[in-house]
């Protein structure tokens, strides 16, 4: 009995030492930072459009292979996945980065400015990482290097997801998170939790922004054709004016979000972004075409708004003797931060960001296909400020701007956030 007790006393300090400490992770993140910057600059200078991330995918796979990992490629066309197998038994968690650039010609003047060209909607365009996906990849790779360095002590494993086509697959193609899942990403090994991070969106320098519950909106699009009857502009009574009807529909659609759904339940937006009809000032055309976007944060309200858009447009058109053709295209669902996971990981985020470093954020009306992952397992999605210290974030060029940039020292905070979230989750969030 005495011998057993002595053995336990000897083993307990060793077990405590085997815990991966926050200080250890921070040191590794600091050592990795120069490499993270180098990776980010390579990705920034060599962007590729959605479902065309061939060189990006190859570079990611090459870096992971150099770490001693065995990446799988070709998932959802160009996606890359690797797993860091922990040395101790435990759950699987995932961290995710998106890889695609945008059809934007860069104007930052950086030494590593993109000069890449691509084809978008049949046109030759400039290509730029104008949404920060270059830094997302670099930070996940940095976290991978940190976590891989301590894998023998990890009580669980880490799935690294490098996802293509977050900005949307080209017309007629599938892509992104939805296709990765469709091809079986979580079929054999499903993570208990998935973590994601996005830079920008006017967040303050050095801050991590988060909220429990709906974080980003669902996005859908619609196309409406108003069919009237062509006539001379001087004799409108001989026809049915689809331009006037379309104008009434635009105004009518605004009453959906302000008068027809419960505004206290969740915000929503219906925007008509394009309207086209007619070729001459004195000819009333046969038809007018309009397109718009819908943003919602509640699944039931989303369906209700879809129905009300078609009903409102149809009834306004019928009241004037016109008719409509309505086409709805579903986009990404809302991104919801799992309340339990958010609460569990909040001490981790507060430790990583320091006193006052975690800020609450209102639901954002932009959309993200991270939502597909978070619909399959508990998800936590964060924002990280991309601007320099002392600069008003409202004055910084926004995401999708040709002037968008990343203050590179902040990427170390992103690497630390990913690394600490994974380790704390796997170690039971023990401080």
Tell me the CA distances in angstroms from 378 to 93, 219, 399, one per residue in order. 10, 21, 26
Buried b (16+ CB within 10 A) or exposed e, 239-258: bbbbbbbbbbbbeebeebbe
* Rg of the chain, C-alpha, whole Å: 25
DSSP letter for each residue of 54-120: HHHHHHHHHHHHHTT---EEEETTTEEEEEE--SEEEEEEEEEEE---BS----S--TT----EEEE
The one catalytic residue in 332, 372, 381, 425 is: 332
Q: Which residues pair with 189 in a beta bridge?
A: none
Q: Torsion over CA of 415, 420, 422 and 426, rounded to 10 degrees?
A: 160
Q: Torsion over CA of 23, 26, 28 and 30, rounded to 10 degrees?
A: -140
- Rounded to the nearest angstrom, the gap between the alpha carbon of residue 169 and the centroid of all alpha carbons in its chain is 14
173 is known as an active-site residue: no
Give ∠ CA 99-95-409 in degrees, rounded to 5. Answer: 70
Q: How many CB atoms lie within 10 A of CB 419?
A: 30
330 is known as an active-site residue: no
How far is residue 382's CA from residue 405's CA, in Å, rounded to a whole number?
Answer: 18
The one catalytic residue in 183, 291, 310, 408 is: 408
Closest by CA to 56, choosing from 81, 78, 82, 87, is 78
Catalytic annotation, residues: 332, 408
């Amino acid at each position: 009995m005495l011998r057993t007790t002595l053995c336990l006393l000897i083993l307990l300090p060793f077990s405590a030492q085997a815990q991966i400490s926050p200080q250890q992770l921070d040191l590794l993140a600091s050592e990795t930072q120069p490499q993270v910057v180098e990776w980010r600059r390579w990705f920034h200078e060599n962007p590729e459009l959605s479902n065309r991330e061939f060189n990006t995918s190859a570079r990611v796979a090459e870096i992971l292979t150099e770490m001693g990992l065995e990446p799988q490629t070709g998932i959802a066309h160009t996606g890359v996945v690797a797993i860091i197998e922990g040395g101790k038994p435990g759950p699987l968690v995932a961290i995710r980065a998106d890889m695609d650039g945008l059809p934007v010609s860069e104007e930052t003047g950086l030494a590593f400015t993109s000069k890449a060209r691509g084809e978008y909607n049949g046109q030759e365009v400039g290509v730029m990482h104008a949404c920060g996906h270059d830094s997302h990849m670099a930070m996940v790779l940095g976290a991978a290097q940190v976590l891989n360095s301590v894998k023998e002590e990890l009580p669980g494993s880490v799935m690294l997801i490098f996802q293509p086509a977050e900005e949307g697959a080209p017309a007629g193609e599938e892509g992104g998170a939805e296709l990765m899942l469709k091809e079986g990403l979580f079929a054999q090994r499903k993570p208990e939790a998935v973590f994601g991070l996005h830079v920008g969106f006017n967040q303050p320098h050095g801050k991590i922004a988060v909220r429990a519950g709906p974080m980003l909106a669902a996005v859908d699009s619609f196309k409406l054709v108003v069919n009237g009857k062509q006539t001379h502009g001087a004799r409108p009574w001989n026809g049915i004016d689809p331009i006037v009807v379309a104008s009434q529909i635009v105004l009518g659609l605004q009453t959906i979000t302000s008068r027809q759904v419960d505004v206290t339940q969740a915000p929503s937006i219906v925007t008509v972004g394009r309207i086209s009809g007619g070729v001459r000032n004195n000819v009333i055309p046969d038809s007018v075409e309009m397109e718009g976007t819908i943003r919602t944060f509640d699944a039931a309200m989303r369906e209700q708004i879809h129905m009300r858009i078609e009903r409102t447009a149809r009834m306004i058109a019928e009241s004037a003797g016109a008719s409509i053709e309505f086409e709805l295209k579903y986009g990404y669902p809302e991104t919801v931060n799992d309340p339990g996971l958010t609460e569990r990981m909040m001490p981790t985020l507060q430790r990583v960001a320091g006193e006052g470093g975690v800020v609450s954020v209102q639901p954002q009306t932009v959309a993200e296909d991270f939502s597909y992952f978070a619909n399959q397992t508990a998800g936590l999605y964060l924002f990280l400020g991309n601007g320099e210290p002392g600069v008003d974030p409202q004055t910084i060029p926004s995401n999708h701007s040709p002037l968008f940039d990343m203050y590179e020292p902040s990427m170390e905070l992103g690497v630390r956030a990913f690394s600490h979230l994974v380790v704390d989750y796997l170690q039971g969030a023990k401080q």
